[in-house]
Amino acid sequence: MPPNTIKTDVLIIGASAAGLMCAIEAGKRGRKVMVLDHANKPGKKILMSGGGRCNFTNTDISASNYISHNPHFCKSALSRYTQWDFIALVNEYQIPYHERDLGKLFCNDSAKDILNMLLAECKKAKVSIHLDCNIKNIGQKENGAFEVESSLGIFQTASLVIASGGLSIPKMCASPLGYKVAEQFGHHIWPTTAGLVPFTLQPRDKESLAELSGIAVDSCVSNERIQFNENILFTHRGLSGPAILQISSYWQAGEAISINLLPALDLVDFIKKRQAAQPNIKLKTALAEVLPKRLIPAVLGQETADKPLQELSQVRIEAIAKQLQHWQIKPNGTEGYRTAEVTLGGVDCNELSSKTMESGKVAGLYFIGEVVDVTGWLGGYNFQWAWSSGWCAGQVV
């Protein structure tokens, strides 16, 4: 053994959501745990999450909120360490939080509360965290121990946990290390793409919708496979907002999405009632009761928006309703990993134990969190996966 080799029971690469949770659980069991990270601070993504308030979990969690080539894989971990377990920990630390729409739980004050809680638990469990640590090489000795060469020396461990996350937001220290380690040890990786990411628009749409920047509308956004009822947001770059981020994880290049800008309204009936009551007013004036003013000509065209209601036939009214309630937009692409909240694809679940996250190919090697091919919806689901998968590995490493 080289003289500067540091021996530990458990070595975790990635000091963020999944890695810290695993470290806490393993440390509580009396294991000697070290966590390495190339960033200069732990939990950078926790700090930037949920607009700085960390949407740390959701009251309503099931496997149907996750995307994976093996949709059953996440069930075991999510049921063994649930949102209620994490909420109990948050309560123990008296962190103030609140519930927003669709069961999303956010800190009242700051995402720092969640990170500080995890770091306090790490301290209690005697976990040591080493930052600014560049991983140079990972190998396995004949006796099965892993040897990790790094800028801080050589680490030797019986259990190696990869918690290095996905590719989203390279500026926040994202790297492909986890996928490379998986490949090195013979694992199959499902191709990765950016998820929960804004859409960019075709040049023509970009120009016609540019002036809508800043407008948010409660919508139902769908494709042939799924639909989401949440806000959409027009930006100077394209389309964003929760419903758009959600559908982006289910979008394939070249495909159109359908936007219902008035999901709760019988629009034909609405226009006909206004037509009977005020036949002289313009369509845009009537629609301004239910939609932002600037949006109406942008979707319908100025000529239609300016039509007096009395000039609209039944067929025309139905066509207008279709335009507003089945608005077809073909995105040009997504903003990519630069702004994506998550990475779809990753380490193939079929080669991992759903109970422990251990590799089925190499004993002692574990993959947890976002590096695994389990991607949650927007709404606290990704952190819950990180907590649950980290907790499961932490029981056995």
Ligand X SMILES: Cc1cc2nc3c(=O)[nH]c(=O)nc-3n(C[C@H](O)[C@H](O)[C@H](O)COP(=O)(O)OP(=O)(O)OC[C@H]3O[C@@H](n4cnc5c(N)ncnc54)[C@H](O)[C@@H]3O)c2cc1C
Q: How far is the CB of 393 from ligand X (least distance, A)?
A: 11
| Site for ligand X contains 394 (CB under 6 A) | no
Q: How far is the CB of 221 from ligand X (least distance, A)?
A: 19
| Site for ligand X contains 241 (CB under 6 A) | no
Other C-beta atoms lying within 10 Å of the C-beta of residue 189: 18
| Site for ligand X contains 342 (CB under 6 A) | yes
Binding window for ligand X (CB under 6 A); candidates: 77-85, 86-94, 166-174, 253-261: 166-174
| CA–CA gap between residue 254 and residue 384 (Å, rounded) | 32
DSSP state of 352: B
Contacts 24+ apart (CB under 8 A), 114-121: 114/46, 114/54, 114/56, 114/90, 115/42, 115/43, 115/46, 115/47, 117/89, 117/90, 117/93, 118/17, 118/20, 118/21, 118/24, 118/43, 118/46, 119/20, 119/42, 119/43, 120/93, 121/20, 121/24, 121/89
| CA–CA gap between residue 57 and residue 62 (Å, rounded) | 12
What does the block give as tokens for 244? Answer: 């758009």
Cβ closer to ligand X: 331 or 390? 390
The residue whose Cβ lies closest to ligand X is: 369
| Site for ligand X contains 50 (CB under 6 A) | yes
Binding window for ligand X (CB under 6 A); candidates: 17-25, 27-35, 122-130, 297-305: 17-25
For 143-182, where are the E strands, in sequence order? 146-150, 153-162
| Site for ligand X contains 48 (CB under 6 A) | yes
Helix (H, G, I), strand (E, B) or coil at 125: coil
Q: How far is the CB of 378 from ligand X (least distance, A)?
A: 8
| Site for ligand X contains 18 (CB under 6 A) | yes
Cβ closer to ligand X: 11 or 298? 11
What does the block give as tokens for 64? Answer: 């149907």
Binding window for ligand X (CB under 6 A); candidates: 43-51, 187-195, 272-280, 357-365: 43-51
Out of 16, 157, 192, 275, the only residue in the binding site for ligand X (CB under 6 A) is 16
Q: Are the beta carbons of 177 and 13 closer than 8 angstroms?
A: yes
| Site for ligand X contains 173 (CB under 6 A) | yes
What does the block give as tokens for 354? Answer: 């759903």
Output the CA–CA distances (angstroms, integers) from residue 17 to 14, 56, 347, in the order listed. Answer: 8, 10, 18
What does the block give as tokens for 269? Answer: 């009936």
The site map against ligand X for 372-391 (x = CB under 6 A) is --------xxxx--x-----
Q: Tokens 């998550």, residue? A: 342
Cβ closer to ligand X: 297 or 390? 390
What does the block give as tokens for 174? Answer: 């994202």
Q: How far is the CB of 122 from ligand X (least distance, A)?
A: 13
Cβ closer to ligand X: 165 or 297? 165
| CA–CA gap between residue 212 and residue 234 (Å, rounded) | 6
Cβ closer to ligand X: 161 or 262? 161
Rounded to 5°, the CA angle 100-296-240 comes to 40
Q: How far is the CB of 370 from ligand X (least distance, A)?
A: 4
Out of 8, 49, 192, 249, the only residue in the binding site for ligand X (CB under 6 A) is 49
| Site for ligand X contains 346 (CB under 6 A) | no
| CA–CA gap between residue 382 and residue 341 (Å, rounded) | 9
The site map against ligand X for 116-155 (x = CB under 6 A) is -------------------x--------------------
| Site for ligand X contains 341 (CB under 6 A) | yes
Alpha helix (H) ranges present in 93-194?
Answer: 112-124, 177-184
| Site for ligand X contains 163 (CB under 6 A) | yes
Out of 14, 195, 345, 346, the only residue in the binding site for ligand X (CB under 6 A) is 14
Could you tell me whether strands 199-200 and 97-99 are parallel, antiparallel, or unpaired per DSSP bridges?
unpaired
| Site for ligand X contains 13 (CB under 6 A) | yes
Q: How far is the CB of 360 from ligand X (least distance, A)?
A: 20
Query: Applying CB under 6 A, which residues contact ligand X?
Result: 13-19, 36-39, 44-45, 48-50, 54-55, 135, 163-165, 168-169, 173, 175, 177, 341-342, 369-370, 380-383, 386
